[in-house]
Amino acid sequence: MKKKFFLSLFIPLFLLLTLFALGVDYLSQQSIEDFAKESLVNELTNLHETLKTIAKENPAGFKNELETLLHSYRIGEEGYAWAMNRKGLLIAYSAGARYDNLNLLEEDAKIFFPLTITIKDTSFKIIGLGDQRRFVAVKPVKNKDLLLAVILPMKEFGPVMIKYRLLLIVIWLLFIGFVYLVSWSAASRAYLPVLHFKEVLNKILNLDQTRRNEPRFYPEELEPVEKELDLLTGKLYRLGEEEPNELTGLPGLIKLQDEIFSRIDHKQPMAAAHVDCNYFTPFNHRYGFERGDGLIRFMGVLIINTIKKKGNPDDFLAHLGGDRFVFITTPDKIDDISSELRNSFDRQVIFHYDEKDIANKSILSKDRQGNIHKYPIMKLTVTAVTNEKKPLFHPLQILDILAEIRKHLKTLDGVNYMKDRRGPEKDEPPPEHEDVPIIKEGNGSGG
């Protein structure tokens, strides 16, 4: 009875204080959102006016001026800007976004592409989840068929929110402690008349206390629970194998295997291409893993945009680890995708180098033995195979062919694209397959 009386006092007051704290927190977030909206809209308006001036004074060089302007643009510590055309392709973006925010750039493009037609004036949105929540202000650039955006991650306000919430939590805990003491004191005073009666009643009934030390569950009752836990652990393990790549969010070998088998089973025209970088390992040693990871994310976004521009709607891209990617398309698209991919990479990869290295067109970096060597600016290497002349019947066969071509390319100077044009061999096995696992996914440093 004492406990019930205590809870009847404490719980309503606890809920009331909690709702009040949540309300104060919500109002503070609204204030931050209003401040961010005003700041971003002003930034976007200034940037838009600058672009209008450029378009009027130098229409022929507008694209180059746009890339230069956005490349040097920065707002706050991690804010960035981008320009996207009506086809959903990113035309230019801030240098500050190239290492940490390439996944966010891809997500921005997916979110705003359906809205490119409907957005007629300045629009403000909050997108993303968790650490990736961000404020976005977008505005169309008239007569240029472009959508301009300025983005500010919400975590820019993180230090202020942390201090504020810590203060709010301390105040909330102090009030909860006060409510607890008041409720317990009131319940104790109300319970005193009942206490003596309960003691007398226990003596009269002579309650049996022997079962208080007995276990609540017996071993045979726990066996079904253990079996269910084993089943759940197995399911989680299998799900973990199919996790997308943590760096790019792209599927890996398991999904790639399923995609290849599906196209083989449906007898579809198929082309598979392996993409990686020459001299990626020296780049990693020279600039560090953070810059290396940024380059890999850039590769993922670049391949996605290129396939979207030159490929088919159902083309598939997988990340095998490191700088190694494989995409699946049709034979009629493979040459155009590969050419566009290599040209786009050559134009944009220099933004990942320091100015001194760009001027020298090379970097100094250590090899695996620790010796210093001079390495040129990275190039993209694409190797491809199709089922036009040769039957493809298993993912392992396809990856072996691509590896063989890649090895041959290393012996050729100045060649960074090759497609297998050979016909079937005499002892080629029949085009049948079993759903067996392919080679283990590796980290693959490339280069």
pLDDT-derived band at 37, boundaries 50, 70, 90:
confident
**pLDDT digit string (tens) for 217-247?**
444 444 554 554 455 445 444 444 456 888 8
Class of 2-158 per CATH?
alpha beta
With a pLDDT cut of 90, the percent of the chain lying above it is 27
Dihedrals φ, ψ of 133, to 5°? -65, 135
User: Comparing 74 with 393, which gets the higher pLDDT?
Assistant: 393
Three-state DSSP state, 12: helix
pLDDT-derived band at 63, boundaries 50, 70, 90:
confident
How far is 38 from 223, CA to CA, in rounded Å?
Answer: 61
Three-state DSSP state, 45: helix
pLDDT at 348: 94
User: Residues 136, 141, 144, 145: is their CA dihedral positive or negative?
Assistant: positive
Q: Which of 17-31, 129-143, 206-220, 394-408 has the lowest mean pLDDT?
A: 206-220
User: Comparing 81 with 302, which gets the higher pLDDT?
Assistant: 302
pLDDT at 308: 95
Q: At the topology level of CATH, where does 253-420 sit?
A: Alpha-Beta Plaits (3.30.70)
CB 79 within 8 A of CB 150: yes
Mean local confidence (pLDDT), 3-26: 69
Question: What sections of 311-380 are H helices per DSSP?
Answer: 331-348, 355-360
Q: Which of 46-50, 125-129, 132-136, 347-351 has the lowest mean pLDDT?
A: 125-129
How far is 39 from 157, CA to CA, in rounded Å?
Answer: 13
pLDDT higher than 60, residue 216: no
Q: Which of 113-127, 153-167, 420-434 has the lowest mean pLDDT?
A: 420-434
Which of these, 135, 130, 127, lies nearest to 153 by C-alpha position?
A: 135
pLDDT higher than 70, residue 347: yes
Please list, in sequence order, all residues whose beta carbon lies within 8 angstroms of the beta carbon of residue 430, skipping any fewer than 6 positions away.
393
The string of DSSP codes covering 386-408 is: ESSSS----HHHHHHHHHHHHHH
User: Comparing 338 with 389, which gets the higher pLDDT?
Assistant: 338
Q: Name the helix (H) or strand (E) containing 282.
A: helix 280-287
Bridge partners (DSSP) of residue 319 are 325
Q: Which of 27-36, 81-90, 209-218 has the lowest mean pLDDT?
A: 209-218
CB 122 within 8 A of CB 44: yes
Which of these, 96, 111, 103, lies nearest to 156 by C-alpha position?
A: 96
Taking all residues of the chain, what is their mean pLDDT, rounded to a whole number?
Answer: 75
Mean local confidence (pLDDT), 75-97: 75
pLDDT at 276: 94
Which sequence spans correspond to the domains of the chain?
A: 2-158, 253-420
With a pLDDT cut of 70, the percent of the chain lying above it is 68
